[in-house]
Chain A
């Protein structure tokens, strides 16, 4: 963890130094074509720390302590076609390292490894026609960690209306593979030369001969996101966002235990399809000269019987035009999914079962503060164009608590 932290600091310093050597010619003249040039470098780092006592690995009870350090780097290239059509290419890479106390208990004796690293590169392209008020874009995503691989694609379009509104639509698909790492006492029996894994309702693929490779099971996610934003007056604007999400495949995790009311344990079993419908709305209002109200509400329902409501309010206060402090509060409440029951509460006759408290009924609060500095000539007149620091404290009625601190640096 210490090495990762130090290498992150070193990466920041090197990138800032390297970027300082580039020319400052990034202003696009109005009617000339310009090739893609590096326009912006973004770095986001977060540290997350969590405590809790309802780990899904140990059947809904047990240590849930998690720490995670996440780093993301974005390189944004901008080019112009005929001075009116803007092309933006964004190449990103993220890497996270986590430690998880409960991961040790994938093995019954607590001997499993407790840490892991995730790497996730992505590539996005966006073409914006300023004259027509349209845009079209596409993206490619990849994510890899020791027990999970994901490949994703998306495609998006948008169109501005002549009444200060904008419609946008995005479709995306993720094709994931879950490695079937079971709790040590529940590893399926194998026969020499072939491994037979059965999981109530899912197709699995077996590994190499002799069963030395652990098999994987697919999980696919398809979603359509639609939004409409509208300027209402000189101080007020809002948007409505609707997502339609369909998932199929292995939707549980193979190392999540469930203890039946008989005391016998097994692996959680969830339906192989799930449909989600979140509807969100944002409303931002500039109050006077210094205060902004950023409000958000979301209603969510899905085919597993879970429904939720989220409301948040953030109030940026502009101490100067370029320096703001924004306290925020978010409240969230959900009902339990049909398939959730706590430790030793499921019956052996249940078709589907999980003791993952993310599917239990609970409420949560999240509050904190966001500080943003973005002077017009850069911070200390350097290439560092803006900086945001954000801290939040999160608590659930399940007793899960966490703290997260994030830093966003933008170099131009």
Chain B
């Protein structure tokens, strides 16, 4: 498959999964979802990892890390 097409298909498939198959989950059924390891954000302890990745790699963003500010000059 053509690579950009594959990427788009992957994103679309993921979006379909999210939007199409949601069960009605009650508050009392969320004990596992509320576990701190299930958080949908990066861990706070990862903060400096995200910084060095954004400085050493060309890509950044869409992960809760910084998108600007600070030099990372060295």
Q: Is there a chain B Cβ closer than 8 Å to A202's Cβ?
A: no
Q: How far is the CA of A286 from the CA of B55 in the complex (A)?
A: 33
Determine if B58 and A359 form an interchain contact, defined as CB atoms under 8 angstroms apart. yes
Number of interface residues of A (CB under 8 A): 102
A235: contacting residue among B10, B33, B46, CB under 8 A: B33
B-contact 0/1 string along A182-201, CB 8 Å cutoff: 00000000000000000000
Q: Is there a chain B Cβ closer than 8 Å to A383's Cβ?
A: no
Residues of B within 8 A of A164 (CB): 22, 24-25
Q: A174-B68, A232-B17, A370-B45 are in contact. Are A48 and B52 (CB under 8 A)?
A: yes
Q: A46-B48, A299-B7 are in contact. Are A358 and B56 (CB under 8 A)?
A: yes
Residues of B within 8 A of A276 (CB): 59-61, 67
Determine if A44 and B23 form an interchain contact, defined as CB atoms under 8 angstroms apart. no
Determine if A400 and B56 form an interchain contact, defined as CB atoms under 8 angstroms apart. yes
Minimal Cβ-Cβ distance residue in B for A52 = B56
Q: Is there a chain A Cβ closer than 8 Å to B30's Cβ?
A: yes
**B39 nearest CB across to chain A (Å):** 8
B62: contacting residue among A118, A278, A326, CB under 8 A: A278
Determine if A390 and B7 form an interchain contact, defined as CB atoms under 8 angstroms apart. no
Number of interface residues of B (CB under 8 A): 50
Determine if A297 and B70 form an interchain contact, defined as CB atoms under 8 angstroms apart. no
Interface residue stretch chosen among A2-10, A78-86, A208-216, A241-249 = A241-249
Most chain A beta-carbon neighbours within 10 Å: one of B23, B33, B36, B61: B61
Residues of A within 8 A of B70 (CB): 118, 120, 143, 145, 148, 150
Residues of B within 8 A of A46 (CB): 47-49
Q: Is there a chain A Cβ closer than 8 Å to B5's Cβ?
A: no
Determine if A238 and B18 form an interchain contact, defined as CB atoms under 8 angstroms apart. yes
Most chain A beta-carbon neighbours within 10 Å: one of B10, B30, B68, B74: B74
Most chain A beta-carbon neighbours within 10 Å: one of B18, B48, B70, B73: B73
**A272 nearest CB across to chain B (Å):** 15
